[in-house]
Structure 1
Amino acid sequence: MSAGMNRSQGLSSLKRKQPDSKSPIESLTEHERILYNLIRSKQDMAIWTRDMKRETNIPDNVLNKSLKSLQAKKLIKEVVTIQNKGRKHYIATEFEPSKEITGGAWYVEGSLDTEFINFLKKHCVKIIYEQKIVTLEEILDTIRRSRAFNVEFTAQQIEEIVNALVLDNEILEVKSTGMGEFNSIPIGKVCYRCASKAGLKAEPKIGAMASIPCGVCPQISLCTPDGIISPTTCVYYTKWLDF
């Protein structure tokens, strides 16, 4: 008997045994239904409780009670956003929050995970040191095969880490000539090597200057001219200007 048939029979049996059971959505009160539909309409972007009140005009005590009930029924969940960690945001459980509001892999509970980032940086440097010359794709492939991390990285995320290492002068970005140490890499392909052990400042390469670091900065949404994070205090932006 196939697994699909087993599952089907199991569901049929469950339905026969619980003919009067209601789904969580069917048991919602009027206020709970209004809130659930509003939260669900925001999909992966979540919504702040004050915005819920503004859009529904539901009194605070009823709103809070309804939110607790929706959470208990596992229809919604609370999300910590990087822009407003102190404000309660909610999202329907069928969605995963957008990295635009959570910061993605680099953030934990709304805070930049510097320990994790530094560990990944060191891991990338180790890969480049061991392989001498390596492309972005080879770095990503080595990380995935090593199983040193329990998260799945995208090429863009590893590129962000590698770009930071270039700006830190820990590695060099070069282009393959197709000769010598580059013989296995297509001509013109961007690749990376460790910086000089002599401690001299690495010579800036075209790739490092091609784009301003703000483009890959995970804190860009918090960066303002007069804020705690700003271009005037950003070490990466300053290094980019020094080039």
Structure 2
Amino acid sequence: MSRSQGSSSSLKRKRPGLSSPSQSLIDHERKLYDVIRSKKDMGIWTRDMKKETNLPDNVVNKSLKALHAKNLIKEVVNIQNKGRKHYMATEFQPSKELTGGSWYVAGSLDTDFIGSLRMFCVKYIAEEKVATVEQVTELIRGNGAFAVEVTKQQVEEIVRALVLDDEVMEVKSNGMGEFGSVPVGNVCYKCVGKGRGGGVKAVIGAMASIPCGVCPRISLCTPDGVISPRTCVYYTKWLDF
């Protein structure tokens, strides 16, 4: 037997004796950890974990501290319910439903980024007369105005919001005239009126006055969904105002 093989066997013999943080859990901690870990990238609210484990509040709180100290769980921000304690296993990254995806920074809607992207989308559509989402995406990437890469999905969500705001309209190409660069039948967009590219400010729709008008996740917003007007902190603040 070679020396390398002997070392490998020695390491294998030692592994069963090694302990990981999860192996040192007591019953209550293990029960709570298993529930949290089972939720994967969605995590779980403390009230829900108490219901599922049927453990007393003091036991849950003590176990959470122990699991956190052992780096087995982490607290994450749920953009729709920031006041709630939300936890998930450290091995998972929060889903977009929780964080809001690239539109959010530290749990807050990045209105500056959204506003700038809206402006660029309208500008390029106006300049090109007619443009597809793919064309606008490439134009924005080529401009280099943003420090981060702008994705096709982001542009598509922004353009949908612009359609709701009546700043651009969705049309289908007939392949003629201004539609010459777009294959026949393909969906594309053009500015309402002259648009910003023609020196005239685009028409601002009623949706622009409420948070929904700049929210790129509006297509996923439903009354009983994860993203919902009932739980949206920005919509609530607008109503209070």
Aligned to 2:219: 216
Q: TM (normalized to structure 2)?
A: 0.69
User: Whole-Å Cα distance in 2 between the matches of residues 160 and 200 of structure 1?
Assistant: 19
- Please show how residues 96-111 of structure 1 align to structure 2 within 5 Å: 96-111=93-108
Aligned to 2:187: 190
Higher relative contact order (CA 8 A, sep 6+): 2
TM-superposed deviation, 1:151: 5.6
TM-superposed deviation, 1:38: 0.4
SS in 2 for 1:161: helix
User: Whole-Å Cα distance in 2 between the matches of residues 109 and 79 of structure 1?
Assistant: 10
Q: Which moved more, 1:80-89 or 1:124-133?
A: 124-133
- Please show how residues 1-243 of structure 1 align to structure 2 within 5 Å: 15=11, 20-144=17-141, 148-150=146-148, 153-155=151-153, 157-195=154-192, 196=194, 197=198, 198=200, 201=203, 216=219, 221-224=227-230, 229=235
User: Whole-Å Cα distance in 1 between the matches of residues 73 and 59 of structure 2?
Assistant: 16
User: Whole-Å Cα distance in 2 between the matches of residues 123 and 185 of structure 1?
Assistant: 20
TM-superposed deviation, 1:135: 0.5
Q: TM (normalized to structure 1)?
A: 0.68
Q: Give the counterpart letter for 1:85 in structure 2.
A: K
User: Whole-Å Cα distance in 2 between the matches of residues 36 and 168 of structure 1?
Assistant: 46
User: Whole-Å Cα distance in 2 between the matches of residues 50 and 88 of structure 1?
Assistant: 9
User: Whole-Å Cα distance in 1 between the matches of residues 10 and 176 of structure 2?
Assistant: 67
Aligned to 1:210: none
Which blocks of at least 5 consecutive residues in structure 2 are unaligned?
A: 205-215
Q: Give the counterpart letter for 1:28 in structure 2.
A: L
Say whether the 8 Å CA contact 1:103–1:218 is kept in structure 2: no
Identity fraction in percent: 56
User: Whole-Å Cα distance in 2 between the matches of residues 35 and 77 of structure 1?
Assistant: 13
Question: In 2 relative to 1, CA 174–85 (structure 1 residues): closer, same or farther, beyond 3 Å?
Answer: same
User: Whole-Å Cα distance in 2 between the matches of residues 199 and 21 of structure 1?
Assistant: 67
Aligned to 1:240: none
SS in 2 for 1:91: strand
User: Whole-Å Cα distance in 2 between the matches of residues 145 and 69 of structure 1?
Assistant: 50
Q: What is the root-mean-square deviation in Å for CA atoms of aligned residues?
A: 3.7
How many residues end up aligned between the 2 structures? 210
Aligned to 2:209: none
Which blocks of at least 5 consecutive residues in structure 1 are unaligned?
A: 1-8, 203-212, 234-243
SS in 1 for 2:23: coil
Say whether the 8 Å CA contact 1:53–1:59 is kept in structure 2: yes
SS in 1 for 2:49: helix
Question: In 2 relative to 1, CA 73–144 (structure 1 residues): closer, same or farther, beyond 3 Å?
Answer: farther
User: Whole-Å Cα distance in 1 between the matches of residues 234 and 143 of structure 2?
Assistant: 37
